[in-house]
């Protein structure tokens, strides 16, 4: 594969993942819950990238009628993308991505949310993203509200609590608990 084609594919993938619903030419790209991605597609992605834990999905409806799935997932400390068709054929895959992006709330492990609600009564999860930690690992940054305060709570991928901050209306940051990650 020549460099220009590879660069073009990477740019298209980044664009497709960065925007919620877009049109590429006559192709339509939409976000899709992983629960709605066919098992043959998720199975092919897991086979193509050993150990991948899927985080996010997009469906690409091409103007010629072909349907593709662009899946994003993590293996250890790295995030990858893989494109799979309805028959489970991997057309492109294994592109490593920079870790720092919003993720669907449904992908956040339930035990993390339960632990936050034990620590912060009435916590409502509003936004979630993954970022790269100092050690290169995945960190979940969860934003939520409780008692008229906005909270930012951080967890390692293994579920270890890293800390929480309250961001007051005055935009002052008050630390509740913070550990170096």
Confidence of residue 173 (pLDDT cuts 50, 70, 90): very low
* Helix (H), strand (E), coil (C) string for 10-30: HHHHHHHHHCCEEEECCEEEE
pLDDT over threshold 80, residue 146: yes
Q: pTM of the predicted model, to two decimals? A: 0.47
Query: How many domains does the structure of the chain reveal?
Result: 2
Of 97, 117, 150, which residue sits at a domain end? 97
**pLDDT by residue (tens digit) across 76-126?**
767 788 889 999 988 765 555 555 678 888 878 888 888 888 888 888 989
Q: List Cβ neighbours of 120 (8 Å cut-off, separation of 6 or more).
A: 144, 146, 151, 153, 164
Asked if 39 and 70 sit in the same domain, the reply is: yes
pLDDT at 42: 94
Looking at residue 144, which CATH number applies to its domain?
3.10.450
Question: Among the three residues 47, 75, 97, which one is the final residue of a domain in this structure?
Answer: 97
What pairs with residue 60 in β-bridges? 29, 68
Res 77: pLDDT: 64
| Domain membership of residue 11 as a residue range | 3-97
Residues 48 and 92 in one domain: yes
Domain closes at, from 97, 118, 151: 97
Tell me, yes or no, whether 7 and 93 share the same domain. Answer: yes
Examine the domain organization and report whether 109 and 166 are in the same domain.
yes
pLDDT reading at 56 higher than 90: no
Identify the residue with better confidence: 157 or 24.
157
The token duo for 126 is 């509003």
């Amino acid at each position: 594969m020549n460099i220009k084609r590879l660069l073009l594919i990477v740019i298209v993938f980044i664009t497709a993942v960065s925007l919620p619903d877009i049109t590429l030419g006559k192709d339509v790209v939409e976000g899709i819950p992983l629960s709605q991605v066919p098992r043959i597609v998720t199975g092919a992605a897991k086979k193509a990238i050993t150990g991948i834990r899927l985080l996010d999905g997009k469906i690409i409806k091409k103007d010629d009628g072909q349907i593709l799935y662009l899946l994003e997932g993590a293996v250890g400390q790295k995030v990858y993308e893989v494109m799979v068709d309805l028959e489970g054929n991997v057309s492109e895959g294994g592109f490593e991505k920079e870790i720092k992006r919003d993720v669907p709330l449904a992908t956040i492990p339930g035990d993390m949310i339960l632990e936050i609600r034990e620590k912060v009564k009435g916590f409502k999860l509003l936004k979630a993203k993954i970022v790269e930690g100092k050690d290169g690992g995945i960190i979940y940054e969860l934003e939520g509200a409780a008692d008229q305060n906005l909270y930012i709570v951080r967890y390692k991928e293994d579920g270890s609590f890293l800390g929480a901050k309250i961001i007051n209306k005055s935009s002052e940051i008050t630390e509740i608990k913070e550990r170096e990650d």
